[in-house]
Amino acid sequence: MNRRLNRFIKTLIFSLFHSLSLLKALLSENLIQSLSLHSMLFDYDNEYDDGFSTPLATPFTLPNDEPQLYLVNDRWWNEARGAVLSSDITGVSYLTTSMFSKVDDFWEVNEHSSEISMKMMREETEGGGEGVLCEYALLLDWMFLRALKWHNDLNKGETILSAQDTMQDPFSLKIRYFLGKMNILDAKISRKENEAGTFERACNIFCVDDDGQFRIRDFSGQITQFSVNDRNIPDSALQNEGILLELQLYGLSHMTKGRHRVKDETVVDQFKGEDFFWTGSPKMNGSINISADIRVDCQPSNSLYREARAMGLTGLLNLGNTCFMNSAVQCLVHTPKFVDYFLGDFKKDLNFENPLGMNGKLALASGDLFRKLWTPGARPVAPSIFKSALSAFAPQFSGYNQQDAQEFLAFLLDGLHEDLNRVKCKPYIEVKDADNIPDNEVADEHWRNHLARNDSIIVDVCQGQFRSKLVCPICKKVSITFDPFMYVSLPLPSTTMRTMTLTVLSTDGSCMPIPVTVTVPKFGKCEDLVKAVSVACSLRDDETLLLAEVYGSQIMHFLDKPSDSIDLLRDSDQLVAYRLPKDSGDSSYLVVFMHQYEHTPMYKYVDNWKKFGIPLLARMSDISKGSDIREQFLKLLSPFLMSVEDVFVEYDDAQTSGSEDSRTKDGGSSVTINVYVNSEVEDGDVNSVVEDDLNVRDDFHFSLVEEHSLLAGTPIEMNEPLPSPRSCRKYTVLVTWPNKMMNLYDTARLISLPEICKSSLFTKRPQESVSLYKCLDGFLKEEPLGPEDMWYCPKCKEHRQASKKLDLWRLPEILVIHLKRFSYNRFSKSKLGTFVDFPVEDLDLTHYIVHRTSEVSERYSLYAIVNHYGSLSGGHYTAFVQHGQNQWYEFDDSHVSPVAEEQIKTSAAYVLFYRRI
Q: Name the residues annotated as catalytic.
A: 323, 876
Which of 501, 491, 64 is closest to 246 using CA atoms?
64
Distance (Å) of CA 340 to CA 285, 422, 438, 502, 736: 20, 18, 38, 58, 80
What's the per-residue H, E or C state across 866-915? EEEECCCCCCEEEEEEEECCCEEEEEECCEEEEECHHHCCCCCEEEEEEE
> How many other β-carbons are positioned within 10 Å of the β-carbon of residue 96?
21
- Residue 714 to residues 554, 596, 723, 725, 733, Cα–Cα distance (Å): 18, 15, 10, 12, 10
Rounded alpha-carbon distances, angstroms, from residue 356 to 364, 390, 415, 421, 706: 16, 13, 8, 10, 57
Question: What is the sign of the dihedral through the CA atoms of 259, 264, 265 and 269?
Answer: negative
Question: Phi-psi region for residue 286, left (φ > 0), alpha (ψ -120 to 50) or beta?
Answer: left
Helix (H) / strand (E) containing 741: helix 739-744
User: How far is 351 from 364, CA to CA, in rounded Å?
Assistant: 11
Contact 601, 563 (CB under 8 A): no
624 secondary structure, DSSP code = -
Distance CA 527, CA 533 (A): 10
With H, G, I as helix, E, B as strand and everything else as coil, classify residue 343: coil
- Residue 517 to residues 7, 62, 536, 752, 756, Cα–Cα distance (Å): 83, 59, 8, 15, 9
71, β-bridge pairs: 138, 249
Q: Are 361 and 419 in contact (CB under 8 A)?
A: yes
566 secondary structure, DSSP code: G
CA angle 145, 146, 148 (to 5 degrees): 60
How far, in Å, CA of 81 to CA of 875, rounded?
45
Q: How far is CA 159 from the centre of its chain?
A: 32
d(CA 260, CA 258) in angstroms, rounded, equals 6
DSSP 34-71: HH--HHHHS-TTSSB-STT--B--SS--PPP-SPPEEE
ω into 170 cis (within 30 of 0): yes
Q: Which residues are registered as beta bridge partners of 519?
A: 499
How far from chain centre, in Å, is Cα 888? 21
Alpha-carbon distance of 621 to 582, in angstroms, equals: 12
| DSSP states of 220-259 | SSTTGGGSTTT--S-HHIIIII-EEEEEEE-S-----SSS
End-to-end CA distance of the chain: 70
Task: Give how far Cα 839 sits from Cα of 485, 492, 776, Å.
Answer: 22, 16, 13
Residues 397 and 410: their CA atoms lie apart, in Å, by 12
d(CA 718, CA 727): 22
CA distance 665 to 579: 35
CB count within 10 Å of CB 58 equals 17
